[in-house]
Amino acid sequence: MPVLKTRIHELRKARNMQQLELAELVGVRRETIGNLENGKYNPSLKLAMDIAKVFELPVEEIFFFEGQE
Amino acid sequence: MHTEKKELSILTQVNLQYIFTGSCFAISGIVGFFDTLPTLIINVVTALLAVCCLAHVMVARKEMDDEMSKEHLQRAQATVLTWSQMILALGFAVPLILRFADVQAQIGKTVTLCNMFLLILGMQHIATGLLFRRYEKEGY
C-alpha cells in the first residue's frame, strides 16, 4: 500500500513556524501536526486543504505518495 | 494572581474516563465475588471514585477534540468491541470450565456472566484507553 508523505515539516521550518501555530491556524491539536509530519496519521481532505491554504500551495505539493516526489 | 483553570488534555480525559474508571470497575468486579465487609467497603470506595472521576471530566475545562483524536477513539472502541464479542462468546464457556476445575466450590460462589459484568466493563474501558494511547503515540 502506498505511504502518504508530507512536506509540512520542511515548509513549516522555512516559514519559521511552530507546530502549535500551524495547529491553531487549521484548528487541530499540536499532536496531530506532529503525527502528520511523522507519517503516523493520514489527514482528512478538509485538513489537507486547510494546511495547503496556510502554505498557499496546491495540496499535491504538500502531500504525495512515496516514490512520486 | 493568575487563576485561570488549566484545561484537561485529550490524553488526560481518556486516562481518567477510560483507564482510571475502568480500573475502578474492574476492582469492583473482582471484589464483588467475595461477600465480606472489607470487600463491600472497597466496592463502595471504587464506585465513588469512578463517579467523582467521571463528574470531574464532565465539568472540567477540556481541550477540544480534533479529527485525529476522534478517529483514534472510534478505532479503539471498534477494536475493543470486536474483542469483547469474542470474550463474551468465550464467557459462555467459562462457567463450565470453572465448574469442571472446581473453582466455584473453592470460592463458594457461582460464577456467571452476570456477576462478571463489572469486570468485563472495566476491562473494556481499560483496553479502550490503552489502545487510544497507543494510536496517539504510534499511529496505526
pLDDT tens digits, one per residue of B12-64: 999 999 999 999 999 988 888 887 888 889 988 998 999 999 999 999 999 98
**Which of these, A65, A56, A67, lies nearest to A11 by C-alpha position?**
A56
**Cα B43 from Cα B36, distance rounded (Å):** 11
Residues B126/B20, Cβ–Cβ less than 8 Å? no
- Taking the model in full, what pTM does it have? 0.83
**Cα B6 from Cα A41, distance rounded (Å):** 27
**Cα B25 from Cα B18, distance rounded (Å):** 10
Residue B8 with chain A: CB contacts under 8 Å: none
Interface of A with B in 29-58 (CB under 8 A): 29, 31-32, 35, 38-41, 43-44, 46-47
The amino acid present at A19, given as its one-letter code, is Q
Mean pLDDT over A37-57 rounds to 95
Q: Which backbone phi and psi does B24 adopt, to 5 degrees?
A: -60, -45
* Element containing residue A47 per DSSP (H, E): helix A45-55
Question: Looking at per-residue confidence, does B13 or B90 come out higher?
Answer: B13
Question: Looking at per-residue confidence, does B136 or B112 come out higher?
Answer: B136
**Cα B28 from Cα B116, distance rounded (Å):** 10
Mean pLDDT over A1-26 rounds to 92
Tell me how far the alpha carbon of residue B95 is from its chain's centroid: 22
Task: Please check whether residue B95 touches A, CB under 8 A.
Answer: no
Spatial CB neighbours of A1, under 8 Å, sequence gap ≥ 6: none
**Which of these, A37, A39, A35, lies nearest to A4 by C-alpha position?**
A39
Residues B21/B55, Cβ–Cβ less than 8 Å? no
Determine which of A5, A6, A32, A47 to mutate to test the interface with B (most B C-beta atoms within 10 Å): A32
- The CB-side HSE value for A17 (13 A sphere, CA atoms) comes to 20
Determine which of A5, A31, A38, A51 to mutate to test the interface with B (most B C-beta atoms within 10 Å): A31
